[in-house]
Copies of this chain bind each other. A is one copy, B any other.
Amino acid sequence: MARVVVDVMLKPEILDPQGQAVQRALPRLGFQGISDVRQGKRFELEVDGPVDDAALARIHELAETFLANTVIEDFVVKVEDAEGSEKVAGAAK
């Protein structure tokens, strides 16, 4: 079983009050040197069968129609390897 990750983030031009709240709190908590924070959603999908181009195309469609609101959000589809590192397989910006 393979894991595909869909990251959904607000588009850069959309205000992100959650991220701003985190970023403003950091210096107060003693963490310097972080100039921007944006917060988004991460979906981990366990895929039955092989993660081939057809499966990735389906997941791209799923992300576009169902997981992300593409008016205000960008999404990236990534394939996770055994170590947990992730490679981009497709994106919509």
Contacts and interface: CB of A to CB of B under 8 A. Distances in A.
Interface of A: 1, 7, 9, 19, 22, 25-26, 29, 31, 33-49, 55, 58, 62, 65-67, 76, 78, 83-88, 91
Contact of A39 (B31, B42, B87, B88): B42
Copies in the complex: 2
A4 to B, nearest CB: 9
A40 to B, nearest CB: 5
A1 B34 CA distance: 10
Given A35-B48, A40-B42, A76-B84, 18 more contacts: A1-B35, A7-B42, A22-B66, A25-B66, A31-B62, A33-B47, A33-B55, A34-B48, A37-B46, A38-B43, A39-B41, A39-B43, A40-B44, A41-B41, A83-B88, A85-B85, A85-B87, A85-B88
A43 B47 CA distance: 24
